[in-house]
Each structure stands twice: as C-alpha cells, then as structure tokens.
C-alpha cells in the first residue's frame, strides 16, 4: 500500500486550485477547496484503480455485475480518505493549508442516487466488495437529479430538485470510448443475414447513446479500487444531416428528447410501483448498456460466448433490472447466433435475483401494451420464456390449473417481473431470515414448491467503515484502544468488547462518548431546526423513509398520548425524552406527507408548552440523508424499528443504530429478529403482534380497530385530538384522513398496519425503556453489548455469503507497481 505523503499532497491541492480555478489557496472558496482536495485524492487512487483492473485482466477473474437502479453512496471524499487510511496525513496537510477537513467534507453534495434501504444496501455492498478484494462492477444510472431535497415549510414537506452535479463531480471519469447504442420502439422484422439465416431485427426504432461514467470504489487499505459505472444518455447524433435530408426532422427531435429525459431524475418512490413508461425506459436503458458492455468485455479476452457464465454473474437488485434476462437472451441469439436452448442455458447460469419486499404495491407488473410497444424484441423473447415456463408448470402440476394463473410470467394483460426473475434466475434470495421464510411459505410459496433449490437467505449488512469509523470517530477510537483495529475489516472481532460490558469505567467511557455525540447532534438540530434539545434526555430516534408500514404514526400517536398524561399529571415521574424523526415521503404519497405534517404540528405544540418544562421534545430533522444519518446514528439511545411485523423485509438502519450502541425498540420483524438473537431479548425492547399473527389477521379479517377505540379511553382521546383542532389550530380537517385510515380505512380495511392493535404493547415497551434508562449502569451495559454483538451485521459478512454461495468468486490481491 502506497503511503500518502503530506508534503506532496499539499502541493497537489495548490496545483489543482490553480489549474481548475486560477486561484491561490487564499482566494479560493470552500467549494473550490473541496474540488481541489478531491482531485488530489483522486490522483492518489488512480494508480490503484488501474492496478486493480490490470490484475483482473491478468488473472482473468470472474466478476459480479451488481445491477441496480439505485446506489445511495452519499459523500465520497471522507469515505475514500478513511479507506486509504489517509486520515492523518490528509488532515495534517489540510490543516497546514489553513483548512478544516470537516468543513471541506461538508462541501460535497451527497450522491443521492437512491431512495432508501435498497439503494444504500447497494452502496454498502460495493464498499465490502472492494474491501474483501472481489472483482465487481456496480451498474446504474447517472441521474441528473437524485433524491429530492426536502424542505419543511410550516410543517409541510416541499420537494426541491437535487442538483448534485452543479459543480461537477470530481471523482467521476467519463468513458465515451465505451458508449453503446440502446434501442426503443419500432417493430421486429425477420430478415436474412449474410449467411441466409433468418434474423430478428428491430426496425424503425428510436435510439440513444449510453455513455458510462466511472466512479472509484476504494477498498480498505488493500489497493483494490472497483468501479461503479453509471450511464448517461446522449442523442445518437444531434440533428444529423441525414435526418434532415430524409425529412426525418420529427424523429431527430424525438430522439433528442428521449436522450434528454431518460436520466433526468430518480423516481422518488420506495416500495411502490408507479408504472410510468419513463421508468421502464430507464430500466432497459441501463440494463441494455451494462449487459452489452459486459458481453463485449468478455469477448475481448475469450472466444466462446457459451462460457460467459464462468466469468460473469449478474445480480439483480430487486426486479427493477429484470429485463436483463431477456436482453442477455437477445444478445446471445440475435448477435451471437446461439440457439434458444444454448442462450437459455447461459442466461439461467448467469442471473440471480434478490427480493426486497413483500408489499404487493411494490411488485412490478407492466401492461403488455406498454411493454411490447416500448421493447418489441424483448417482449417477444419474454413471451417465449413464458410459453416454455407455462409448459413446465403444467408438466409439474398436470391437475392444477390454478398454478399457471398464479405463476405465469405473462397473465391478465401484464408482464410480472418477479415471476420472470424467478423463472430465469438460478438464485432467489430474501434479505433476512424471517423475510426469506415468508417468501418461501407465503408470497412465493408456489415457486418455492416447484423450485426449492433456488431459494436462499442473505441477511443484509452495513459497512462499519462508514457507519462507525467515519460517522463515529470517538467510539471508533475507543474501540480500537480497547481491542485493536481488526474490527475495521472483520467486525466479528467487535465481540471482544463484551468483556468490558460489566466494567464500570468502560461503561462510563462508553456513555461519555454517547453524550458527546448527543451534544454534536444537539448542535446540528439547533443550527438546522432552531430547537434547543437537552443531550441529557433520552434520544429516541426513528429515521427512515416515511411509509405507513414503518409506522411513524404509531410513534407520534404515542407522543401525543404521553403528552396528555404529563398534562393530566404534571408531577408524574418522567424521564426527559427527545423524540427525533427524519423521513422523506414520496412526493405523491399524500398520507405520508400528512404524517410529516402531524409530527411537525405535534412538535410545535409540545415544544412550545412551557408547562411541561421541556420534558418532551419532538424534532423533525429536515432532509434526512446519508451524510446527516452518520451523525444521527452515533447519537441515538433508542432505535425505533416498529414496522408492522412481516412488512419490513430486513431493515438496515436497525443495524447502524445497534453498531453505535443504541437499544432497539422494535417488533419481531425483518432483521430485528436476528438482532435480538445476537444481543439477547434483555438488551432490547420487543413488542407487538408477531408476523404469524399479522398474517393470520390478514387472512381471517377479524380485527376491528373500533373495538379498541371504544374500549380504550386514552387511545380515543388521542384519536379525537386528530380531528378536534388540538394540533391544527382549529382546523378539523387537517388530519381527518389519518383519523379515517385508522378507523374506517379504505375498501373496508381500516388500520391495515395494526397501529391501534399494537398501541398498548408499544406504550408498555416505552415504559420499559424509561425504567431501563434510569438504571445508568444497566443501560450502559446493554448499550455496549449492542455494539459488541453487532458483528454479524457487517456487509462484509453478507458479501462473503453472496460471493461463496451465489457468485462463486475468488478474491484478488492487488499490488501497485511502477507500471501503474
């Protein structure tokens, strides 16, 4: 590993300021300084980046292509610096130049090319792949606008465009030499090729040029730099004379518009399928470009396309890139002349699918009309895959017609992407044990019964390098002082902290660090929200996307309930609590937006009520994203993971909190189950219906929230306050929809997320939290044990499992030589 040299680095920064901005260090502004520092860092890693790819070529390694519509990488600079172990040298260099690394890091916009868990998981996976030395490409889209910026005005969410490329991205490299063409629309004709064979050709299509931009993914202290390749679209040739000559002006304009729109913006929906034509265009665009390049790259060094699965594996991050299956079939048959059977053999050995949700509204189904019009050749291929798959189903279940109905890829006028991914993939995995069991025995039961060998679990993980080493430097240093730094690359070692759990001095040190992190967050909140919070209060945090199933509503209803109790009984024994929320709602999700308004309105009333002496504070952190998440996790005492059991496939925020010593207050859902397995139920607060109970109620329909409303006066009081103007300055209608959703629901299903059903159990768990926090030593012990028992939840462990059990990859060692 090459050492970062302080003196050289300083000179580079000064040189870049000159070359890029014609400025000296005294003249440059902070953004310019960030750019110069970033270029200097890039300069340093580019040798490793080249050495990595040279090594891959020399060793002819098998490579995973992680195909994902989303990579929520956040800021790159700080992360690259810690992975280079360059913190000290760069910090010193920057200080000597009269700058502050934190200020410089703060200039970088988050790369918010994702919505939430799924996109962040992809980013953690890339970090782990590089750190473990596995050959990998991330393949995605270079959205011009990422996840919108959330602004809260009068308690309402407003969405502002996220112009993250405004100042350019210093880390990216444009690779026009690898551009490919992607075709849409037109029709499929059968033509003779030069050998007289029938060929399927797409004609009268519109096309765009896909241009890749490469971003470096730096492994921890190992010279490995993998690539995240994100694609942008450009017009094939802008208003070329040909088109004018042929009078094809209209088409030239259309193609230009197509290129302009494809990569314009990330769809801001999580766990919801909007069914927009542009979304399908985005999917095919980046998939086609990625697969074409992967095949070309393979053929540069090999001559037998029939063996590509020996060197390449495509992991589909949810169904969003599932057109991969048909695109690969198309390339193999139409461009390399393989027969159907040969192409199918290769395809089904190279594609694997990860499922991230059981929420039915998230399942991707495309109307046939739209699909066949936009992707005529791909549609033909899917029809044939479906025809053969249906025969297979009928052969397996000759007496059961319902199987075809339930499992066909094309049915009811729709293309069902999950069914395609399962039929063609050699692996189908869920993202936590419970989730995989639900897939096997409920959601995908029929598929599991027919193809049990495909199903497997890969419990999610997170990178400790970003979420502890970078996000919580005080705790990271303390851990390293206690047990050494092996935990950075092997989180299992963090268990060695367990021996300190009962040591009073260690407990004090641990909680002192937590306190300092709470002060840091309190400062952030003061600066950004203007709200004063007490770092001695319990920091009770729920940060994640806003979705009804995640039940932010349960949390805020409970705050309303506590406030009522405190008002009724001002002298009651009450440990001060700060309820912290952060969440973006998808722009069109009205109820989610209304819940954000409710949280802010409840905060306004409670935070300004002098009579409760600041015992409850409610804070809604604006624009929750990766960069402020790092500060928030470090400061949390209580981690709210309160989804309706069975609905949260895994969760990964839960793991980030645990790693930073917060105690989970949660349902037995997703990976919470495994967190409790590791840390012990006595070090968490578990409540609520089990997933089996929820599923049973969903089947038998015997839950009526009105019964609870009628019998529980406290709950009734809270619900009444939704519609009596208490939190809406007399406007009875502001929260009427929320009230109705709990008591009347739509389509005869009120309270689909069992909020009232779980309310008492949640309130009781919250009482346990308060009692536990009052016992300082016991809390410190539990908090430390949460950190100590988090070893399983490293994305390094997850990636090892994918690499060994699905991808069959070998690790590579990279040496940087003078040639690089």
**Residue 289's Cα: distance from chain center in Å?**
22
In three-state secondary structure terms, 76 is coil
**Binders of ligand NBX in range 138-197 (CB under 6 A):** none
Is 804 a known active-site residue?
no
Q: Which is nearer to ligand NBX, 501 or 665 (CB)?
A: 665
Q: Which is nearer to ligand NBX, 363 or 612 (CB)?
A: 363
Secondary element (H or E) of residue 231: strand 225-235
Q: Mapped to the 3 state alphabet, what secondary structure does 601-628 carry?
A: HHHHHHHCCHHHCCCEEEEECCCCCHHH
**Quick one: angle between helices 277-301 and 249-262, nearest 10?**
90
CB of 368 to ligand NBX, least distance (A): 20
**Binders of ligand NBX in range 265-324 (CB under 6 A):** 269-271, 273
CB of 581 to ligand NBX, least distance (A): 18
Q: Which is nearer to ligand NBX, 603 or 666 (CB)?
A: 666
CB of 776 to ligand NBX, least distance (A): 33
CA–CA gap between residue 716 and residue 698 (Å, rounded) = 24
Residue 315's DSSP bridge partners are 66, 352
Residue 201 within binding range of ligand NBX, rule CB under 6 A: no
Candidate list 330, 356, 625, 781; residue touching ligand NBX; CB under 6 A: 356
Q: Which is nearer to ligand NBX, 48 or 652 (CB)?
A: 652
Residue 362 within binding range of ligand NBX, rule CB under 6 A: yes
Q: Which is nearer to ligand NBX, 271 or 741 (CB)?
A: 271
Contact window for ligand NBX (CB under 6 A) among 339-347, 649-657, 707-715, 811-819:
649-657
CA–CA gap between residue 626 and residue 72 (Å, rounded) = 8
Candidate list 295, 649, 799, 809; residue touching ligand NBX; CB under 6 A: 649
Is 550 a known active-site residue?
yes
Number of residues interacting with ligand NBX: please give it, by CB under 6 A: 20
In 319-472, the DSSP E strands lie at 351-354, 365-367, 410-411, 414-416, 427-430, 455-457
CB of 670 to ligand NBX, least distance (A): 5
Is 544 a known active-site residue?
yes
Measured CA distances, 628 to 160, 469, 564 (Å):
18, 15, 32
Q: Which is nearer to ligand NBX, 119 or 235 (CB)?
A: 119
CA–CA gap between residue 655 and residue 513 (Å, rounded) = 19
CB of 750 to ligand NBX, least distance (A): 24
Is 647 a known active-site residue?
no
- The arrangement of strands across the sheet holding 365-367 comes to 365-367, 414-416, 410-411
Kindly state the DSSP code that residue 545 receives in the 8-state scheme: -
Sign of CA dihedral 20, 26, 27, 33: positive
Contact 552, 595 (CB under 8 A): yes
Residue 438 within binding range of ligand NBX, rule CB under 6 A: no
Q: Which is nearer to ligand NBX, 506 or 643 (CB)?
A: 643
Judged on CB neighbours under 10 Å (0-12, 13-18, 19+), 153 is exposed
Contact window for ligand NBX (CB under 6 A) among 264-272, 396-404, 580-588, 759-767:
264-272
Contact 263, 142 (CB under 8 A): yes
Of 568, 611, 595, residue with least CA distance to 714: 568
Site string for ligand NBX, 726-765 (x = CB under 6 A): ----------------------------------------
**For 97-176, where are the alpha helices, taking DSSP H only?**
101-106, 117-132
CB of 457 to ligand NBX, least distance (A): 12
Is 652 a known active-site residue?
yes
Contact window for ligand NBX (CB under 6 A) among 115-123, 245-253, 391-399, 450-458:
115-123
CA–CA gap between residue 422 and residue 189 (Å, rounded) = 29
Residue 141's DSSP bridge partners are 231
Q: Which is nearer to ligand NBX, 133 or 140 (CB)?
A: 140
Catalytic residue among 10, 149, 466, 545: 545
Of 770, 794, 581, residue with least CA distance to 685: 770
Judged on CB neighbours under 10 Å (0-12, 13-18, 19+), 367 is middle
CB of 588 to ligand NBX, least distance (A): 13
CB of 319 to ligand NBX, least distance (A): 8
Contact 743, 718 (CB under 8 A): no
Residue 97 within binding range of ligand NBX, rule CB under 6 A: no
Q: Which is nearer to ligand NBX, 42 or 272 (CB)?
A: 272
CB of 741 to ligand NBX, least distance (A): 20
Residue 548 within binding range of ligand NBX, rule CB under 6 A: no
Of 421, 212, 410, 415, residue with least CA distance to 328: 421
Measured CA distances, 708 to 427, 554, 691, 704, 713 (Å):
44, 14, 20, 8, 9
Candidate list 32, 55, 68, 115; residue touching ligand NBX; CB under 6 A: 115
Catalytic residue among 322, 644, 652, 664: 652
**For 636-704, where are the alpha helices, taking DSSP H only?**
653-659, 672-679, 691-700
Residue 639 within binding range of ligand NBX, rule CB under 6 A: no
Contact window for ligand NBX (CB under 6 A) among 113-121, 341-349, 391-399, 785-793:
113-121
Terminal C-alpha separation, the chain: 13
Catalytic residue among 330, 514, 615, 656: 656
Catalytic residue among 377, 550, 789, 797: 550
In 672-793, the DSSP E strands lie at 685-686
CB of 143 to ligand NBX, least distance (A): 13
Site string for ligand NBX, 665-684 (x = CB under 6 A): -----x--------------
Residue 461 within binding range of ligand NBX, rule CB under 6 A: no
Contact window for ligand NBX (CB under 6 A) among 136-144, 168-176, 177-185, 263-271:
263-271
Catalytic residue among 416, 544, 547, 789: 544
CA–CA gap between residue 50 and residue 42 (Å, rounded) = 12
CB of 114 to ligand NBX, least distance (A): 7
Candidate list 35, 130, 429, 460; residue touching ligand NBX; CB under 6 A: 460
Judged on CB neighbours under 10 Å (0-12, 13-18, 19+), 45 is buried
Radius of gyration for the alpha carbons in the chain, expressed in angstroms and rounded: 27
Site string for ligand NBX, 215-254 (x = CB under 6 A): ----------------------------------------
Pairing of strands 136-141, 577-582: unpaired
Residue 650 within binding range of ligand NBX, rule CB under 6 A: yes
**Residue 57's Cα: distance from chain center in Å?**
31
Catalytic residue among 149, 356, 416, 797: 356
Q: Which is nearer to ligand NBX, 101 or 123 (CB)?
A: 123
Q: What are residue 813's phi and psi, to 5 degrees?
A: -105, 135
In three-state secondary structure terms, 308 is helix
Contact window for ligand NBX (CB under 6 A) among 138-146, 289-297, 449-457, 646-654:
646-654
Residues in the chain: 820
Residue 463 within binding range of ligand NBX, rule CB under 6 A: no
CB of 417 to ligand NBX, least distance (A): 10
Q: Which is nearer to ligand NBX, 109 or 116 (CB)?
A: 116
CA–CA gap between residue 515 and residue 512 (Å, rounded) = 5
Is 356 a known active-site residue?
yes
- State the residue number with the nearest CB to ligand NBX: 117
Residues acting as catalytic residues: 356, 544-545, 550, 652, 656
Q: Which residues bind ligand NBX (CB under 6 A)?
A: 115-118, 121, 269-271, 273, 356-357, 362, 431, 460, 648-652, 670
């Amino acid at each position: 590993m090459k050492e970062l040299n302080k003196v050289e680095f300083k000179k580079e920064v000064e040189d870049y300021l000159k070359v890029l901005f014609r400025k000296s260090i005294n003249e440059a502004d902070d953004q310019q300084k960030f750019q110069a520092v970033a270029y200097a860092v890039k300069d340093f890693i580019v040798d490793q980046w080249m050495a990595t790819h040279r090594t891959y070529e020399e060793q002819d390694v098998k490579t995973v292509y992680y195909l994902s519509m989303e990579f929520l990488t956040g800021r790159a600079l700080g992360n690259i610096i810690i992975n280079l172990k360059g913190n000290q040298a760069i910090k010193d260099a920057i200080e000597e130049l009269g700058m502050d690394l934190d200020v410089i890091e703060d200039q970088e916009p988050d790369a918010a090319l994702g919505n939430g868990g799924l996109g962040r998981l992809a980013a953690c996976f890339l970090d782990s792949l590089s750190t473990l030395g596995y050959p990998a490409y991330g393949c995605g889209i270079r959205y011009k606008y990422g996840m919108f910026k959330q602004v809260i005005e009068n308690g309402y969410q407003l969405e502002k465009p996220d112009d993250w490329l405004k100042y350019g991205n210093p880390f990216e490299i444009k690779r026009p030499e690898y551009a490919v063409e992607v075709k849409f629309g037109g029709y499929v004709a059968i033509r003779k090729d030069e050998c007289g064979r029938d060929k399927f050709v797409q004609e009268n299509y519109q096309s765009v040029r896909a241009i890749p931009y490469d971003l470096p993914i730096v492994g921890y202290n190992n010279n490995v730099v993998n690539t995240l390749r994100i694609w942008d679209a450009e017009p094939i040739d802008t208003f070329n004379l040909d088109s004018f000559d042929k009078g094809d002006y209209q088409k030239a304009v259309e193609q230009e518009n197509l290129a302009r729109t494809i990569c314009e913006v990330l769809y801001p929906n999580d766990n919801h399928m909007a069914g927009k034509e542009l979304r399908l265009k985005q999917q095919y665009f980046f998939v086609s470009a990625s697969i074409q390049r992967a095949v070309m790259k393979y053929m540069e060094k090999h001559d037998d396309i029939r063996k590509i699965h020996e060197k390449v594996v495509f992991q589909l991050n949810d169904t969003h890139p599932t057109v991969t299956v048909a695109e690969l079939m198309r390339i193999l048959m139409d461009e390399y002349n393989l027969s159907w059977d040969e192409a199918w053999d290769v395809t089904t050995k190279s594609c694997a699918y990860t499922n991230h949700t059981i929420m039915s509204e998230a399942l991707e189904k495309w109307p046939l009309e739209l699909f066949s019009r936009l992707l005529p050749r791909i549609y033909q291929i899917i029809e044939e895959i479906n025809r053969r798959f249906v025969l297979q189903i009928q052969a397996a279940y000759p007496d059961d017609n319902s199987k075809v109905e339930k499992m066909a890829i094309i049915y009811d006028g729709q293309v069902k992407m999950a069914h395609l991914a399962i039929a063609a993939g050699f692996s189908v995995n869920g993202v936590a044990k419970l989730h995989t069991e639900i897939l096997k025995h409920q959601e995908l039961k029929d598929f599991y019964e027919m193809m049990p060998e495909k199903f497997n679990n890969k419990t999610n993980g997170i990178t400790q390098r970003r979420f502890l080493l970078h996000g919580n430097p005080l705790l990271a240093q303390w851990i390293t002082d206690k047990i050494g730094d092996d935990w950075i690359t092997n989180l299992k070692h963090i268990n060695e902290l367990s021996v300190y759990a009962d040591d009073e001095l260690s407990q004090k040190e641990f909680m002192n660090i937590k306190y300092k992190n709470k002060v840091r967050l309190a400062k952030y909140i003061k600066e950004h929200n203007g709200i004063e919070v007490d770092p001695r209060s319990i920091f009770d945090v729920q940060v994640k996307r806003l979705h009804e199933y995640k039940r932010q509503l349960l949390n805020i209803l409970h705050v309303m309930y506590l406030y009522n109790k405190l008002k009724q009984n001002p002298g009651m024994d009450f440990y001060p609590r700060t309820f912290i929320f952060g969440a973006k709602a998808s722009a069109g999700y009205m109820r989610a937006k209304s819940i954000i308004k409710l949280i802010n309105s409840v905060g306004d009333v409670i935070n300004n009520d002098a009579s409760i002496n600041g015992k409850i504070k409610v804070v809604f952190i604006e624009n929750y994203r990766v960069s402020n998440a790092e500060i928030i996790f470090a400061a949390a005492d209580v981690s709210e993971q309160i989804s309706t059991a069975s609905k949260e496939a895994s969760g990964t925020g839960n793991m980030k909190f645990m790693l930073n010593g917060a105690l989970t207050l949660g349902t037995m859902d997703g990976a919470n189950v495994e967190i409790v397995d590791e840390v012990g139920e006595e070090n968490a607060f578990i409540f609520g219906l089990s997933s089996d109970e929820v599923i049973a109620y969903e089947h038998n329909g015997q839950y009526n929230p009105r019964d609870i409303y009628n019998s529980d006066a406290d709950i009734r009081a809270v619900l009444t306050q939704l519609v009596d103007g208490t939190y809406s300055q007399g406007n009875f209608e502001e929260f009427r929809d929320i009230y109705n959703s709990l008591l009347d629901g739509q389509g005869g299903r009120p309270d689909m997320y069992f909020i009232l059903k779980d309310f008492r159990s949640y309130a009781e768990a919250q009482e346990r939290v308060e009692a536990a926090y009052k016992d300082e030593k016991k809390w410190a012990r539990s908090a430390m044990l949460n950190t100590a028992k988090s070893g399983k939840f490293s994305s390094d462990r997850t990636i090892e499992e994918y690499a060994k059990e699905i991808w069959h990859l070998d690790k590579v060692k990279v040496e940087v030589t003078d040639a690089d």
